[in-house]
Amino acid sequence: MTAEATSEEPVFTPRPMPEYLDDAVRLFADRPALDFMGKGWTYKQLGDLVNRAAEGFRKLGVKRGVHVGICLPNTPYFTVCYFAILKAGGTVVNYNPLYVEREIDFQARDSHTEIMVTLDLKVIYDKVEAVRAKGGLKQIVVCPMADILPQPKKLLFQLFKRGERAKISRDDAHPFFADLVNGRPIAQEAVTFPETDVAVLQYTGGTTGVPKGAMLSHANLSANMEQMRIFFSDARPGDEVMLCVLPFFHVFAMTAAQNLSILIGAEMVLMPRFELKTLLDDIKRKSVTLFPGVPTIYTAINNSPLTHNYDLTSIRMCLSGGAPLPVEVKENFEKLTGCTLVEGYGLTEASPVVSCNPSDEPPRAGSIGKPLAWTECEFRSLEDPYVVMPEGEKGELCVRGPQVMMGYWERPDDTNRTVENGFLHTGDVGYRDKDGYIHLVDRIKDLIICSGYNVYPRVIEEAIYQNEAVEEVIVIAIDDDYRGQAPKAFIKLKEGATITPDELKVFLKEHLSAIEMPRAFEFRDELPKTLVGKLSKKELVEEERAKASDQAAE
């Protein structure tokens, strides 16, 4: 899956993912690789652990075609096992540790996961063990939390957190991580064919809403790493510190935080969950320079009174993804830190990054930037998907490049609907401007049809964000007897701020047309978010449907 390079771009050559770690160990052996709550590992130590774990996985039967799940928060275990599984020839299946048992069981059976790697904490382990006991898994590799903590945190954990540790049988079905790495390094790495071997099965709702595994090859992942390196051309190999607060089980963090760090020899500061004070402490403690995130995290930093007690000027570059980045959030964060915060765009099926705003050009408000190296973007007619829309006219964004997935695991019909002639149909609506910048206006499925007109929630959300009282907003479609559908806005105000629906309507008259004006406003203390911190519409849509159903039944 090579791509033609322009005169300014190098040619992409697919490589097995473990080769990048081997390069980092060779080039940056004594440089710090991982920091977890103050305990550190160098690249040499990381490489040694990976090689020993790879041999341990091989002895467990991991080879080409064997799927190994990782159900972990951001810890050293994640990175070690990720690369060790790949070195042994296996395929990584990422699991969200906050999933309930039913979700873990579905994904394990659907993906044919044989072995799962997880922590010895009851809150995660008990769910995984229940799946194994029902025949959904063969083995669980147990990773003790206490073993990766620095002193005195390790001692305090052992003394006071006993109730949080699961009771685990030490038998063939439950090998421990220490057993995995208690031998020689792997002598013969598995032979890998980058373009055809699946490195990661990354589960997603996809463009049709059904959970399915996107098959990301070694070539897909290595391409996106290389594309990110070209984009971050100012990155200093061996001298960057990456804040890893986004969970690695999510494709954005896997690529833009973990894998990119390995490529450039950056130190990864691992955070198992988002907690604002800990995040600010880590930025100060480690002089963080790179910080990928989602808009809600940058918003939290902007609006917290804690922030003013910290010097955040070590941060050089931030990449925002996962959701639209409001212009106000970008400007305030850059003013606070002095860094460059750019918005990117991607989706699981593209490994995931497709485009980014160039850091060396003036920002384009509302734009997701330009396509990455080796990436083609077209906008296809919403009425006829074989018609390419001209500059400035809206259509569905379709993407072709070496980062586009091989397809969906065991779902050929879904694959054929989503990828045609190498072009990935994203389900996002937008256009390209005269300078080549991509602008997205919304998801096809989120489109609101008001009296026959297309109304885009993102346009309304951007307008509402311009009011200084607003911290977060979600706009969805509700049923309307007259117009068919109408927009409704759910709003979280900044702390101490007040505004009425009538006052907000007056403000919005200068920013929205009459057809775009929300029919209703609802103020809430919190808005629903996904497990990675993105604002989530799904819960609100379900609430409104239930409300409408109850009213119809009365």
**What distance lies between CA 286 and its chain's CA centroid?**
23
* pLDDT (tens digit per residue) in 37-54: 999 999 999 999 999 999
Residue 400, classified by CB atoms within 10 Å of its CB into exposed (0-12), middle (13-18) or buried (19+), is buried
Average pLDDT along the chain: 92
CB 449 within 8 A of CB 455: yes
Mean pLDDT of the 457-470 span: 92
Tens digits of residue pLDDT in 90-117? 999 999 998 889 889 999 999 999 999 9
Enter the DSSP assignment of 17. Answer: H
Q: What is the 8-class DSSP label of residue 188?
A: S
Q: Hunting for tokens 């709702």 — which residue is that?
A: 205
- Cα–Cα distance between 68 and 76 in angstroms, integer? 17
Q: Any bridge partners for residue 520, and if so which?
A: 488
Question: What pairs with residue 267 in β-bridges?
Answer: 241
C-alpha closest to that of 207 among 383, 413, 430, 384: 413
Concatenate the DSSP letters of all residues of 365-386 into one string: TTEEEEEPTT-EEEEE-SS-TT
Q: Is 327 within 8 Å of 355 (Cβ atoms)? A: no
Per the rule left: phi > 0, alpha: psi between -120 and 50, beta: everything else, 304 is: beta
Q: Find out whether 213 and 93 touch, Cβ atoms under 8 Å.
A: yes
How does residue 159 score in pLDDT terms, banded at 50, 70 and 90?
A: low
pLDDT for 207 equals 45
Q: Would you say 396 and 436 are in contact if contact means Cβ atoms under 8 Å apart? A: no
Crossing angle (nearest 10°) for helices 43-59 and 76-87: 60
Residues 165-222: tens digit of each pLDDT: 999 989 999 999 999 999 999 999 999 999 999 999 999 864 445 689 999 999 999 9
What is the C-alpha to C-alpha distance for residues 138 and 144, in angstroms, rounded to an integer?
19
Q: pLDDT value at position 442?
A: 79
pLDDT given at position 6 = 42
Q: Determine the pLDDT at residue 34.
A: 98
The pLDDT score that the predictor gives to residue 430 is 94
Predicted local confidence at residue 156, as pLDDT? 74
Q: What is the pLDDT of residues 20-37, one digit of tens each?
A: 999 999 999 999 999 999
Residues whose CB is less than 8 angstroms from the CB of residue 508 and which lie 6 or more positions away in sequence, other chains included:
463, 464, 517, 518
Q: Which DSSP string corresponds to 2-13? A: -----TTSPPP-
**Spatial separation of the C-alpha atoms in residues 228 and 506, rounded to whole Å:** 43
CA-based nearest residue to 454, from 432, 479, 426, 487? 487
Express each pLDDT in 51-90 by its tens digit: 999 999 999 999 999 999 999 999 999 999 999 999 999 9
Closest CA to 104 of 61, 140, 80, 144: 140
Judged by DSSP in three states, 433 sits in coil
The predicted model gives 511-536 an average pLDDT of: 90
- Is residue 5 over pLDDT 50? no
The confidence score (pLDDT) of residue 205 equals 63
pLDDT of residue 532: 75
The model's confidence at residue 4, banded by pLDDT at 50, 70 and 90, is very low
pTM (2 decimals)? 0.85
Look at residue 543 and tell me whether its pLDDT is greater than 60. yes
How confident is the model at residue 41, as a pLDDT? 98
Selection from 8-12, 165-169, 334-338, 438-442 with the highest mean pLDDT: 334-338
Q: C-alpha distances in angstroms, 539 versus 444, 472, 474, 529, 530?
A: 18, 16, 11, 9, 10
pLDDT for res 538: 86
Residue 321 near residue 343, CB atoms below 8 Å = yes
Compute the C-alpha angle 163/165/167, nearest 5°.
105
**In order of start, what are the domains of the chain with their CATH numbers?**
17-426 (3.40.50.12780), 447-553 (3.30.300.30)
What is the model's pLDDT at position 503?
96
Answer whether 262's CB lies under 8 Å from 21's CB. yes
Mean pLDDT: which of 3-7, 365-369, 378-382 is highest?
378-382
Would you tell me the crossing angle of helices 327-337 and 457-465 to the nearest 10 degrees? 40
**Four-CA torsion 438, 442, 445, 450, nearest 10 degrees:** -130
pLDDT surpassing 60 at residue 223: yes
Q: What pLDDT does 153 receive?
A: 80
| 258 DSSP assignment | I
Residue ranges of E strands in 222-288: 241-244, 267-270
Q: Quick check: 449 pLDDT over 90?
A: no
Closest alpha carbon to 55 in 199, 188, 198: 188
Alpha carbons 177 and 39: distance in angstroms, whole number: 18
pLDDT tens, position by position, 467-508? 999 999 999 999 887 778 899 999 999 999 999 999 999 999
